[in-house]
Amino acid sequence: MDQTAILWDLNGKPIQKFEGHTSVVSSVIFAPDGKSILTGSFDQTAILWDLNGKQIQKFEGHTGWVSSVAFSPDGMSILTGSVDQTAILWDLNGNPIQKFEGHTGWVTSVAFATDGMSILTGSADKTAIRWDLNGKPIQKFEGHTEVVTSVAFSPDGMSILTGSGDKTAIRWDLNGNPIEKFKGHADAVYSVAFSPDGKSILTGSLDDTAILWDTLANQLQTFQGHTGQVASVAFSPDGKYILTGSIDETAILWYTQENLLKVFRDHTDVVSSVDFSPDGKSIVTGSYDNSVNLWDTQGDTWQTFWEHKDKVTSVAFSPDGKSILTGSFDDTAILWDLNGKQLQKFVGHTGDVYSIAFSPGGDSILTGSFDDTAILWDLNGNQLQKFEEHIQTVSSVAFSPGGDSILTGSWDNTAILWDTKGNPLQTFTGHINTVASVAFSPDGKSILTGSWDENVILWNTRGNKLQTLRGHTDAVYSVAFSPDGKSILTGSRDNSAIQWDTKGNLLQSFSKQNGRVTSVAFSPDGKSILTGSSDRTAILWEIPTLGIFQWLQGSDCPLRQLTQEEKVMYGIIEEKISTR
């Protein structure tokens, strides 16, 4: 513990270190004008600093750790909360104006009302109290069953928010009546915040996540990426970003919005498959309504393909972008030009065609079927090779980047790597349910399998597991690598798509669709994604150019896990009585 605070730019570069405390810095806040910083510390003091790291004023008077600090809205006074069970209002010269006494446990969190005429305190006594500036309690907020860890006023001053060790947050009216309870975290809620417009709420938890909610307690987005407890959360002034701090020794800057660019609505049944054209200027969608649509990225339909006699299960652009391949439950695949003219029908399977793929050179195609086989074809509809080894439906097929091997996934819970002569090279076993989707990495050195067992597995081509991606709460239907191979996209029956890094860290969740996500694809430039859903739509999303998050790494300013004694003191756990 280096007992400092650090000011950073948004690229993760430290600008200024604030040194002067003699123990852990527990709380930091900017002045309303952004020209100074206030810190609270376990050394029982608070310090006001200029942005160059110079101490302006030290605030001494508490007899226990300073746990929380706040500026008044006009920046002319400050508020501190302490383990000594009090809060103190100070002028900027370090003179105490008012002491707030009434809690029976340490004061964990303090906040000013937006008009500056009242304050709010949270306590380990499981309550929050709203006070006037003369130290008189106005209202006590009772309802949590564990320590109140964090408090905040709404921007309009008409409601308050509390977070607690009981794993919930509560939004209250000013008369102490609970309006909404926010349930979703698996451990203590340690920090809460209102967005600047008051329309959303942010909570950070000891379960290593932060959650963005609307004010009716509906979860909008979960931020997963920390490997330790999330101890602090905050919104940017414009509300577009959030910042989370964690005991994993990092802070993360995130986008608060999923950048939905366009919704494609025309199909009358499940959108089963989606793909981008090689130039990224158009997309193709296949549907259980037996049709295929070619669209521009603005949502206008260029062409509809009607020929299949049953549900369309899979679609793909040719590598040169001049033709489209489709597979269907009518046991066939069809090759089309972009004007909707049928170029070739591939007939030979004795069951539904579940998956199709073009070879990298575009001179052959691959189909997987309910008849337990995959077939390699030339473009004239001639069978070149049949792949027979699976004992159930072949649900997904893919070519290696070099075109010298293929990959199949099956309802028999396995994936198989083959040479193009039909010889199995490697069987991938590890899933406990259907392998619904398979993909090669762009360099061909690893493969990806998604399964109805809710998991995604990254393998090397020798069949060794490299990483298991866990985060979906229902069957995984579709997987894809980004063009640079650095991230992974998955779609699930849980109505979400997730972007991951190749180490298994969740980067971003896309969850605005109202049905299972059946198909996912990256754009050729990797800057956007496409999802298809059982809600009959496809959605084009932008991947933020800033990056999903920026790491503010500071190895010389680590946070730490709470000790057993501190957890007891903070009310997170009860003290165990020795029986010896």
Write out 164-199 in H/E/C secondary structure: ECCCEEEEEECCCCEEEEEECCCCCEEEEEECCCCC
pLDDT tens-digit readout, 480-510 = 999 999 999 999 999 889 888 898 877 777 8
pLDDT category at 292 given cuts 50, 70, 90 is very high
Please work out, in degrees rounded to the nearest 5, the angle formed at the alpha carbon of residue 357 by the alpha carbons of 281 and 544: 40
* Nearest residue to 566 (alpha-carbon basis) of 247, 253, 261, 315: 247
Contacts 24+ apart (CB under 8 A), 281-285: 283/530, 283/538, 283/540, 284/315, 284/316, 284/317, 284/324, 285/315, 285/532, 285/538
pLDDT tens-digit readout, 384-439 = 999 999 999 999 999 999 999 999 999 999 999 999 999 999 999 999 999 999 99
Residue intervals of the chain classified under CATH 2.40.128.630 are 1-100
Question: Distance between CA atoms of 350 and 425, rounded to whole angstroms?
Answer: 25
Top-ranked range on mean pLDDT: pick from 189-203, 222-236, 256-270: 189-203
For residue 536, the one-letter residue type is: R
Helix (H) or strand (E) holding 567: helix 564-569
Whether residue 16 has pLDDT greater than 50: yes
pLDDT tens-digit readout, 307-341 = 999 999 999 999 999 999 999 999 999 999 999 99
Q: Are 427 and 408 in contact (CB under 8 A)?
A: no
DSSP E strand boundaries for 247-352: 251-255, 259-265, 271-276, 282-287, 291-296, 301-306, 312-317, 323-328, 332-337, 342-347
Q: With H, G, I as helix, E, B as strand and everything else as coil, classify residue 215.
A: coil
pTM for this predicted structure: 0.64
- Ramachandran assignment for 331, one of left (phi > 0), alpha (psi -120 to 50 degrees), beta (any other): left
Q: With H, G, I as helix, E, B as strand and everything else as coil, classify residue 465.
A: strand
- What per-residue confidence (pLDDT) applies to 9? 78
Whether residue 561 has pLDDT greater than 60: no
Question: Distance between CA atoms of 440 and 11, rounded to whole angstroms?
Answer: 33
- What per-residue confidence (pLDDT) applies to 218? 83
- What per-residue confidence (pLDDT) applies to 571? 41
What fold is seen in the domain 272-388? Methylamine Dehydrogenase; Chain H (2.130.10)
pLDDT category at 533 given cuts 50, 70, 90 is very high
- What per-residue confidence (pLDDT) applies to 487? 93
CATH architecture of residue range(s) 1-100: Beta Barrel (2.40)
Helix (H) or strand (E) holding 150: strand 148-153
Residue intervals of the chain classified under CATH 2.130.10.10 are 102-250+552-571, 272-388
Question: Distance between CA atoms of 263 and 273, rounded to whole angstroms?
Answer: 15
- What per-residue confidence (pLDDT) applies to 560? 32
CATH number of 102-250+552-571: 2.130.10.10
Whether residue 235 has pLDDT greater than 80: yes
Whether residue 573 has pLDDT greater than 60: no
pLDDT, mean over the chain: 90
* Nearest residue to 418 (alpha-carbon basis) of 451, 392, 434, 394: 394
- What per-residue confidence (pLDDT) applies to 544? 60
Cα dihedral value 496, 497, 503, 506, nearest 10: -50
| 145 DSSP assignment | S
Return the bridge partners of 409, or none.
396, 415
